[in-house]
Amino acid sequence: MVIVLFNLPAYAIDLGDANGDGAVNIDDALLIARYLVGIEPVIPQPNYADVNGNDRIDIVDAMIIAQFHYGLRAEIPKRLMAIPGANPTSGPAPLTVNFTTDGKDPKGTIQVYRWDFEGDGNWGNMGDVVKKRKKSP
């Protein structure tokens, strides 16, 4: 039996959804603009509002979102959240694999890494490198 691990995609989030409605559009740009002049007291998702990543929410972020909304910008900036990896990625069972991740947190520092190898919602707190021994799938 040979175990082959799928390449896991990096998890990235679209920035710009400041109001948290699941879409990046002019409403987010207007929300930021209203927030900056004091009409709106809070931005529901401030970590998504700083689209240019300069650690400030300002009119440039609103302009980038507006440019995206009106088609003047093809893509909205993304922020990479985690880069999962495995080594080795295949081999005969039983296979011992080092799972790794290089995570990014928009808020700053990652406090804990959690892994759910069984996919059952039970998360184990471990480090950013985890060794697992896999039997046959």
CB burial of residue 84 (10 Å; 0-12, 13-18, 19+): middle
Nearest to Ca ion of 55, 120 (CB atom): 55
Q: Is 28 in the site for Ca ion (CB under 5 A)?
A: yes
Q: Is residue 17 within the footprint of Ca ion (CB under 5 A)?
A: yes
Which of 4, 7, 39, 54 binds Ca ion (CB under 5 A)? It is 54
Cα gap 91→23, rounded to integer Å: 42
- Measured CA to CA, the distance from residue 64 to residue 90 in angstroms comes to 43
Give the interface segment with Ca ion, choosing from 11-19, 62-70, 75-83, 89-97 (CB under 5 A): 11-19
* Contact criterion met (CB below 8 Å) for 89 and 4: yes
Asked if 47 is part of the footprint of Ca ion (rule: CB under 5 A), the reply reads no
Q: Interface residues with Ca ion (CB under 5 A)? A: 17, 19, 21, 23, 28, 50, 52, 54, 56, 61
